[in-house]
Amino acid sequence: MALKNAIDLSGRRILLTGAAGGIGAAIARACVALGARDLVLADNGPMDDLCDELAADGATVARHRCDVSQRRDNAELAAAAGDIDAAVACAGICPLEEDWADDPDWDQVFHRVMDVNVLGPLHLAREMIPRMADRGGGQIVLIGSIGGRMGGTSPIVQPHYIASKGGVHAVIWWLAQRAAPRGVLVNGVAPGPVATAMTATTDYPKDRYPLGRIGRPEEIAWPVAFLCSPAASYFSGSILDVNGGLFVG
């Protein structure tokens, strides 16, 4: 008997924060390519072009402005979104211009990075898990980083980003243990360096990478979309390392 393809998002309503970024936009496109026709996109930046593009591909798109570091914004987003089958917390920041050793204001930047990169996913999960549990289940995907695995791949990446992504990985494991008994699957993806606006000014030693290049946004998007699909129904607490072989462990 032929197996049905379970990497199918048809009929699923997907919520995505950080949709305006390079990886976030690629995730939205991947979800639509896999059949999702009902998306809730959130960001604190403009998304008009992306929303128009997805609508032209046949998707219904609801857009929301959201500062993920704010608990109220996440609560309002969840209430407005309604029933959600899968939620992806992709919003994140990686300031590069400060010097942690010499900048007297660096501590404030540290707190902002932690608020966005760690508190943001926690705020979203706090809203999503009980709502999904009441509906019989759901899937949540958090975006970590190779930096949280091995301390970064470029000398200019600051310790606030590394600490935040290590924190995201720990949060995935913590949430997964508590959400799985309620039918909610919490997993993550840890990308290596990816060609986005965030990394455009960063010097990565590509000659040291097994594939000789950094990743493309769509190469992160497909694994995320997979974790939102029925094919990932037995994944809980997993972090998929998508880095071209730069980190193996």
Residues with catalytic function: 161
57 CB neighbour count, 10 Å cutoff: 12
CA distance 63 to 196: 22
CA distance 11 to 48: 24
| Non-local CB neighbours of 10 within 8 Å, separated by 6+ positions | 34, 35, 36, 37
Q: How far is CA 23 from the centre of its chain?
A: 8
**CA dihedral for 218, 221, 225, 227, sign (positive or negative):** positive
CA distance 133 to 182: 5
| Non-local CB neighbours of 157 within 8 Å, separated by 6+ positions | 94, 96, 147, 202
Contact at 8 Å (CB) between 117 and 165? yes
Is 234 exposed, middle or buried, given 0-12, 13-18 or 19+ CB atoms closer than 10 A? exposed
